Amino acid sequence: MSAKSVAIIGAGPVGALAGLYFSNEGWDVTIYELRGDPRHARVPGSTASTGKSINLALSHRGIEGLRGASESLAEMVMKNVVPVYGRMIHDHKGKQHSQAYDVHGQHINAVDRGWLNNALVDEIEKRDNVELKFGHRLLQCDFDMKTIKLETKDGSVDVTADLVVGADGAHSAVRRQLMRVARVDFEQKYIDTLWSEISIPPRIESDGTESYPLDPQHLHIWPRKTFMLMSLANIGDDKSFTGTLFMPQANFDDITYPLDVIDFFKYHFPDVVPLIGEENLIKQFFDNPRGSLVSIKCNPYHYLDRCILIGDAAHAMVPFYGQGMNCGFEDVQVLFKMFKEHNAVSSALNKYTASRQKDLYSISDMAMDNYVEMRSSVTSNMYLARKNTEEFMYKYFPRLGVRTLYNMVSFSSTPYSVALKKSIAQGRTFNTVFFGAGIGMVGLAAYGAYRFRKVWKSALSSS
């Protein structure tokens, strides 16, 4: 494929990674970002709004996406993660129970979003065929004329590009422009859950040193049926945890006074209060902003050979499977697989949409379903019975191909739609065996009772 020019809208992790891939293939790359340079506009390891760390779960698909751009970059990133081997479930009394992600010890990796974004941008700056332009807001795309209009602090500018890549997030401006020229099916759904950060500070030891207040190699979850608190360790010298409270708006609205906060947390999360302190907890609850959660599906993702959507611009999902960034990185890898298989850009983009849509719909649905699992199902006997059965089969009878859905999603490149279909089939088998065994046990018990009654009657009559 001959060298062309590409304009990537969005310099977040997915857009930055796409820039590296296009650079590797000899394209002339310009990346436009609405905000300022993240390395200057942001304190390392913190968000602009709260000053707290945002951790992402980097797993197999994301790691493979990084390796496709640069092996050395992937190795450097993996030296700056915290391995997370499973969920730590906290009950109402503060007791903890570990649920490993994988029977063979595979793990996901907590990584700071800002640090990772900065690492990708630093790598981009090393490339002679890539330009970074911050403070540029997309106004309009004329895909047929291959021109785009952007707004800067000095006024609007018009530029040309053979291909426009929309990597500008859930509220994508590129997607809105695409919908003007293509018949795009679009679905947007907000769930009745808000999220708010609750930071857990480091523990101060007797010698004055800081340590993690919780086991850093677990994702900590406080499941409470209709809402939950979850928390991941921060990376580096900061031994704190960043927690996130996911809860329906009505529950947030019911908590209006400082004492309400303490009563709520002491009842639902009793082990959290002493870790944070009452005053700090009250301040965070009322001061930290609350965000909404949206799921977006659309199809197609492209227009001719002129435009393609990737990452959240194509498939924003709720965060409960930890696959948002991983899926976005896989988007880039799949896109360039199509480029290698097809000489024409239009053919590659068309094939991308055709092959990717069912997988992106599947992971969006799984992310939504996993919220129910994390806030409720993880404590149910049925869930644990199926999980333990599938893990037993995976460990001792691997040739049967039985794996948990989480394992297929997080520790393999199995297409999301294939993993979901296989999990559904395994669930049907499990239910058939489980209920069959249950019916059999009831039958045996009934027969045993019948025989006992008959023998007992016989004994009584003979006496």
Q: Examine the pLDDT at 97 and tell me if it is beyond 70.
A: yes
Q: Examine the pLDDT at 438 and tell me if it is beyond 90.
A: no
- Say if residue 310 is in the same domain as residue 368: yes
What does the buried/exposed string (b/e) look like for 338-376 if buried means 16 or more CB atoms within 10 Å of the residue's CB?
Answer: bbeebeebeebbbbbbeebbebbbbbbbbbbbbbebbbb
pLDDT tier for residue 462 given thresholds of 50, 70 and 90: low
> pLDDT, tens digit, for every residue of 26-58?
999 999 999 999 888 544 444 433 444 467 899
Q: Which two tokens stand for residue 351?
A: 């094939």
The mean pLDDT value for 244-253 works out to 96
The mean pLDDT value for 51-78 works out to 89
Q: Examine the pLDDT at 384 and tell me if it is beyond 90.
A: no
- Say if residue 129 is in the same domain as residue 202: no
The pLDDT, as a whole number, for residue 157 is 96
The pLDDT, as a whole number, for residue 63 is 98
Choosing from 330, 356, 373, the residue where a domain stops is 373
> pLDDT, tens digit, for every residue of 157-199?
999 999 999 999 999 999 999 999 999 999 999 999 999 999 9
The pLDDT, as a whole number, for residue 51 is 40
- Say if residue 360 is in the same domain as residue 331: yes
Q: Which two tokens stand for residue 74?
A: 């992937």
What residue numbers bound the domain in which 354 lies? 5-82+111-187+295-373
The pLDDT, as a whole number, for residue 252 is 97
Q: Examine the pLDDT at 141 and tell me if it is beyond 80.
A: yes
The pLDDT, as a whole number, for residue 375 is 86
- Say if residue 17 is in the same domain as residue 153: yes
Residue 56 inside a domain? The answer is: yes
Residue 456 inside a domain? The answer is: no
The pLDDT, as a whole number, for residue 431 is 84
Residue 95 inside a domain? The answer is: no
DSSP state of 46: -
The mean pLDDT value for 220-241 works out to 91
Residue 100 inside a domain? The answer is: no
The pLDDT, as a whole number, for residue 48 is 38
Q: Which two tokens stand for residue 20?
A: 């590296």
Q: Enumerate residues 6+ apart whose C-beta is below 8 A from 90.
A: 96, 220, 221, 222, 269, 271
- Say if residue 344 is in the same domain as residue 328: yes
- Say if residue 334 is in the same domain as residue 422: no
The mean pLDDT value for 200-214 works out to 93
The CA–CA distances, whole Å, from 410 to 43, 329, 350, 420 equal 30, 13, 27, 12
Identity of residue 247: M
Q: Which two tokens stand for residue 149?
A: 């209009």
- Say if residue 28 is in the same domain as residue 136: yes
> pLDDT, tens digit, for every residue of 360-383?
999 999 999 988 888 888 888 888
Work out the angle at residue 382's Cα, subtended by the Cα atoms of residues 393 and 419, and round it to the nearest 5 degrees. Answer: 50
- Say if residue 343 is in the same domain as residue 440: no
- Say if residue 264 is in the same domain as residue 394: no
| CA 373 – CA 370 distance, rounded (Å) | 5
Q: Which two tokens stand for residue 382?
A: 């049925």
CATH of the domain at 314: 3.50.50.60
- Say if residue 366 is in the same domain as residue 273: no
Residue 450 inside a domain? The answer is: no
Query: Do residues 169 and 10 make contact, with C-beta atoms less than 8 angstroms apart?
Result: yes
Half-sphere exposure of 169 (CA within 13 A, CB side): 10
Choosing from 373, 389, 415, the residue where a domain stops is 373
DSSP state of 319: G
Q: Which two tokens stand for residue 145?
A: 């004329």
The pLDDT, as a whole number, for residue 234 is 87
Nearest-CA neighbor of 127 among 73, 88, 56? 73
- Say if residue 182 is in the same domain as residue 279: no
Query: Do residues 227 and 375 make contact, with C-beta atoms less than 8 angstroms apart?
Result: yes
Residue 120 inside a domain? The answer is: yes
Element (H, E) at 30: strand 28-33
Residue 457 inside a domain? The answer is: no
Number of domains the chain contains: 3
Residue 452 inside a domain? The answer is: no
The CA–CA distances, whole Å, from 459 to 385, 451, 456 equal 42, 12, 5
- Say if residue 183 is in the same domain as residue 39: yes
Choosing from 238, 257, 291, the residue where a domain stops is 291
Q: Which two tokens stand for residue 434?
A: 């489980």
The pLDDT, as a whole number, for residue 303 is 97
Identity of residue 267: Y
